[in-house]
Structure 1
Amino acid sequence: MSAPTLPAGEQREACVSDAASRSRPAPRREAFVRAVGRNLSAHAFLIGAVLCFSFFSWYPMVREFLLAFQKTEDGRTTWAGWDNLRTVFADPAIWQAWRGTLLFTGLALVLGFAVPFVVALVINEFRHAQAYLRLLVYLPVMLPPVASVLLFKYLYDPGYGLFNTVLDALHLPQQQWLQDPDTAMLSVVIAATWMNMGGATLIYLAALQSIPGELYEAAELDGAGVLRKIWHVTIPQTRLILSLLLLMQIVATMQVFTEPFLLTNGAGPEGSTTTVVYLIYQYAFNFNDYGAAAALGLLLLVLLAGFSAAYVRLSRTADDT
């Protein structure tokens, strides 16, 4: 038997549709081409960001890790193993640097962590001029750090500085702010707090304004005063922000360099303002020992990474309980 045949018109239509389907790309290919074209600009920005991070962040970290175990002499690089770490631990200045860094971190937590929160509480109570107050608080952050430090160096001057002028007007003894080992680190912390408190204050203020007003009204009905409302309502509602900024502040203050370097030339009187990062600077640019500088930087990195991991783990455990 012969196969049935279609009429001539239907055969022609079938051939045309078959040719069109063969000339059309597959649906998956069309979707892929459309997705690439639609997201081409996003991929371009993403690739640029990845390249910038690779070149300016990740590559220096990998290079520092390798340099911590190498020695460079007369332009020749050799493998040194643990010699750089032994050099760092044998240096008596390292313990003074760690002591200065921990002292700065402790004082910065007392001032730099508490003061922005108190300032945010005060600004939050204003019903008018909040925009002006936010600008006023954030203004020091917008100033160049060097200009801010030099301003405080002028204020701390023992001869004509504003601070000693105020003390003299109050009939109080004048201070050698940056020249006295007992007050040098505190003076550096005060300057650093003024320079960096604006960002933390705005974050705290945003967190405070997100707290429902019904909670404060309920606390007032229960007879709670200002301090009890802060302790039982404000702090629990902003606990996440407080813990996050506490971690960020500890990591930042452990890497302080600009303020003591410009205010007290780095070491300060009797080495009272020596920090770990300043010692890294000395190893690299004063002693030309880049291996020891990289080893000390790697040690600081490991310490901060371990502290951050432990802090996050303890925070999750506290939230679960």
Structure 2
Amino acid sequence: MTAESVTPADAVERPAVTAKDRTPKAAGGTSAVPAKDRIPKAPGRKRRLVPGPGARRRLRENLVAYAFLLAGILCFAAFSWYPIVNGMLLGFQEVTFAQPARWVGLDNFRRLFEDPLFLTAWKNTGYFTLLALVFGFATPFVTAVVLNELRHGRPFLRMTVYLPVMLPPIVTLLLWRNLIYDPGPGLFNNALEVLHLPAQQWLESEHLAMVSLVIVSTWANMGTTTLIYLAALSGVPGELYEAAELDGASIRRRLWHVTIPQLRFILMITLLLQIIGTMQVFIEPFVLTGGGPSEATLTVLLLLYRYAFVYNDFGLASAMSTVLFVVLGLFAGLYLRLTRTKG
């Protein structure tokens, strides 16, 4: 048969025959070539066990970072974590520091819950927190909105609002007690006299004492929250306000439908932080009222102070601090959850 007589059927492509196919197979599918006649495979490239210069440099950098991190961990462990754990353990012991501590189990918590002042302190703390949310939460927000609308004198007013934060708390409280809440020539009573209203015992009245503490606390601490709101307001797009003005929205509607929705996350975070902060109120009742009159301003931390340094019962005080730690931990967990969700 010549090349010209090859038909299409004879030109069907046949599979290529490889060296593997030429190797004779023995029964069972194994190679029939003796092991000594086989061509050895090229040895694989072994992995280097000695790190290169780049790996060594990264290791040195990580060691430096870990050294700085270890210093911070040790500081937290010595000055934060160890006191927390030790304080919790003291809650299960009878501790007077006059004799060795004795393990009493849950007796301190049992005595704590049976103390009528325990519920009184929590009620007063809750009442203070509620009043602080009414005055201390709304006042900085309204102040920030007003300052944000001003065109002149904004830096001076910002400094004026933040000035009380820079004063030492004890100076602020003594200033209010002697110049403003004084039952005789105090500023508030002078204002009432001008309005032909009777003078009030601001710190000696069971009904006015807690309100007076909230007013002082709001005035002294609103500066930081106001600056936070001002920074958040600067991030609201101006186009939203312009669109609302074109639609004929009033200031109240712009505030309700533009400002508050844009600051919803910031408002929620400051609300949780304020709850955590106000539940730890101590210096205001300690300096201004001492928990009176008639325990009307006795708070949780003030009662804890009495247990430890007045009654010399550190086990009971530690049990009180453990209960407060658990309550605040719930709000702190909610705060972390919100921030993590936003992130």
Bin the TM-score by the shorter chain.
0.7 to 0.9
| Structure 2 match to 1:78 | 102
Separation of aligned partners in 2, 1:295 and 1:25: 54
> For residues 70 and 252 of structure 1, do their structure 2 counterparts lie closer, same or farther at Cα, with a shift above 3 Å needed?
same
Note if 1:195 corresponds to 2:223: no
**What are the within-5 Å matches in structure 2 for residues 1-321 of structure 1?**
26-28=52-54, 30-32=56-58, 35=61, 40=64, 45-73=68-96, 74-154=98-178, 155-265=180-290, 267-310=291-334
1:29, CA displacement in angstroms? 5.3
> For residues 45 and 30 of structure 1, do their structure 2 counterparts lie closer, same or farther at Cα, with a shift above 3 Å needed?
closer
**Same amino acid, percent of matched pairs:** 55
Separation of aligned partners in 2, 1:216 and 1:54: 49
Separation of aligned partners in 2, 1:43 and 1:284: 39
Residue deviations 1:237-283, cap 9 Å, x none? 01111000000000000010001110102x11111100011000000
Higher alpha-carbon deviation: 115-124 or 45-54: 45-54
Q: Number of residue pairs matched?
A: 291
Compute the RMSD of aligned alpha carbons: 2.2
| Structure 1 match to 2:10 | none
> For residues 25 and 275 of structure 1, do their structure 2 counterparts lie closer, same or farther at Cα, with a shift above 3 Å needed?
closer
Runs of 4+ in 1 over 4 A off after TM superposition: 42-45, 310-317
Separation of aligned partners in 2, 1:90 and 1:133: 50
Separation of aligned partners in 2, 1:44 and 1:121: 46
The amino acid that maps onto 1:162 is L
Contact 2:124 2:297 in 1 (8 A): yes
Secondary structure of the structure 1 residue equivalent to 2:142:
helix
Separation of aligned partners in 2, 1:298 and 1:222: 55
Contact 2:88 2:322 in 1 (8 A): yes
1:32, CA displacement in angstroms? 3.5
Gaps of 5+ in 1: 1-23
Contact 2:269 2:335 in 1 (8 A): no
1:33, CA displacement in angstroms? 5.7
1:304, CA displacement in angstroms? 1.8
> For residues 44 and 173 of structure 1, do their structure 2 counterparts lie closer, same or farther at Cα, with a shift above 3 Å needed?
farther
1:28, CA displacement in angstroms? 4.9
TM score, norm. by length of structure 2: 0.80
| Structure 2 match to 1:11 | none
Residue deviations 1:190-225, cap 9 Å, x none? 000001000000000000111000000111112211
1:27, CA displacement in angstroms? 2.3
> For residues 169 and 310 of structure 1, do their structure 2 counterparts lie closer, same or farther at Cα, with a shift above 3 Å needed?
same
Gaps of 5+ in 2: 1-49
Separation of aligned partners in 1, 2:55 and 2:247: 66
1:308, CA displacement in angstroms? 3.8
Secondary structure of the structure 1 residue equivalent to 2:206:
coil
1:78, CA displacement in angstroms? 1.5
Secondary structure of the structure 1 residue equivalent to 2:217:
helix
1:30, CA displacement in angstroms? 3.3
Max Rg structure: 2
Secondary structure of the structure 1 residue equivalent to 2:101:
strand
Higher helix share: 1
> For residues 32 and 298 of structure 1, do their structure 2 counterparts lie closer, same or farther at Cα, with a shift above 3 Å needed?
same
